[in-house]
Homo-oligomer: A and B are copies of this chain.
Amino acid sequence: MFTERIRDLAHVGSVELFTPVPARSAAFFVDQLGMSEAGHRGDSVYLHAWDDYERFTVKLTGRDTAGIGRTYLRAASPQALLRRVAAVETAGLGQRWVSDELGLGMVYLCRDPDGHDLGLYWDTERYRPTGGDRPALKNQAAAFPGRGANVRRLDHVNYLAADVAGCSAFLAGELGARPTEQIVLDSGEVAGIWYTISDKSYDLVYTNDRTGTPGRLHHIAFATDTRDDILRAADVCLDAGIHIETGPHKHAIQQTFFLYVWEPGGNRIELCNAGARLLLAPDHEMLSWTQAERAKGQAWGLKTIETFHTHGTPPAQ
């Protein structure tokens, strides 16, 4: 018997990052990634990826150490939002309704079992291009930047979690996400699990934090239109002195073409391209990778770089 899935979350909306060097971080998002500034508020600057229909894509907030603030998840409807809030409250993981964010209306705050902050919402403001970034074609959010990586939209968020199992149960249960691929170690432990809330093959990912520190970030990822944008971004980062951690290469898991860099504040940023890959089967069965398969490295043989297992933000104590 197939259990019908109601899709209550539409997509990842935006994310807040903390950085000890906000001006340098903002310059990275603008100059190397091709985003544009979309507003300021207090210690925060808002950045917009050119085809994001919403008011902002990343909120960059000055803070002592790098790390991740709220991840905003847009519901598929007001009704869906209320269903998810009820589920979260029943599970005792809810916090409260707020209305404190640029471009967003009522937001319901909650936390996954690892302590990552989430904000569920429906009401959102459309991005309004001004003179400089008004597009020639009205079916795109802003003019094409033609700068750096030209990231089109936020693609996914990959959390480090001390409690992958708990977070996983929360995401599947309370939020209705579907797991699509996972790594299962010989010990039986899940080292990483990929969840989708859309037709993309993943939107939210939990990776086991070997330091046992809860609530950290592994990386956030932006989608580019082409793999060439990513190759070009590598040159741009090289010349700008941005730390390239690994890539470009292609993941075996999920098959994403990737480049990982560290923005000046220390947060890991992925540039990713999935080609025309979508996960359209409504009855897709989660696929498991063994420890041995994982040890083979990436799709074309690149060994996983050591920092990929150790670096997260904020730094572990």
Partner of A10, one of B10, B224, B232, B280: B280
A137 and B298 CA atoms in complex are apart in Å by: 10
Q: In the assembled complex, which residues on chain B have CB atoms less than 8 Å from the CB atom of A143?
A: 239
- A156 nearest CB across to chain B (Å): 12
Categorize the interface residue count of chain A.
35 or more
Report if A152-B275 is in contact (Cβ < 8 Å); known contacts: A5-B77, A234-B300, A301-B244.
yes
The complex is assembled from copies of this chain, and their number is: 4
Q: Which residues of B contact A153 (CB under 8 A)?
A: 276, 278, 280
A-B contacts, 13 of them at CB < 8 A, read: A136-B238, A139-B252, A144-B232, A144-B235, A144-B239, A153-B280, A199-B278, A223-B276, A226-B228, A228-B228, A235-B299, A238-B299, A238-B300
* A225: min CB distance to chain B, Å: 3
Q: Which residues on the B side are within 8 Å of A200 (C-beta)?
A: 199, 278
Q: In the complex, A137 Cα to B198 Cα: how many Å?
A: 23
Select the stretch in A55-63, A205-213, A253-261 that faces chain B: A253-261
A106 within 8 A of B: no
Residues of chain A in range 219-236 having any CB-CB distance to chain B below 8 Å:
223-229, 231-236
Q: Which residue of B lies closest to A257 (CB)?
A: B231
Known A-B contacts A146-B32, A225-B276; the reply to A2 vs B78 at CB < 8 A is yes
In the assembled complex, the Cα of A200 lies from the Cα of B276 at a distance in Å of: 10
Expressed in whole angstroms, the Cα–Cα distance for A256 and B2 within the complex equals 35
Give the secondary structure class of A's interface.
loop
- Which residue on chain B has the smallest CB distance to residue A233? B146
On whether the beta carbons of A253 and B139 are closer than 8 Å, the reply is yes
Q: Quick check: is A287 within 8 A (CB to CB) of the other chain?
A: yes
Q: What's the Cα separation between A301 and B302 when bound, in Å?
A: 12
Please provide the chain A residues from 231 to 288 with a CB less than 8 Å away from any CB of chain B in the complex: 231-236, 238-239, 241, 244-250, 252-255, 257, 259, 273-278, 280-282, 284, 287
List the B side residues contacting A280 at CB < 8 Å.
10-11, 53, 74, 153, 198
Q: Check if B152 sits within 8 Å of A276, measured CB to CB.
A: yes
Is A77's CB under 8 angstroms from B199's CB? no
Q: Is A215 an interface residue (CB 8 A)?
A: no
Please name 19 further chain A to chain B contacts, defined as beta carbons within 8 Å, in addition to the given A153-B276, A226-B228, sorted by A numbering: A4-B78, A5-B77, A7-B7, A10-B281, A136-B241, A137-B252, A137-B299, A138-B287, A139-B252, A139-B255, A144-B238, A146-B232, A146-B233, A152-B277, A223-B276, A227-B228, A238-B300, A248-B248, A248-B300
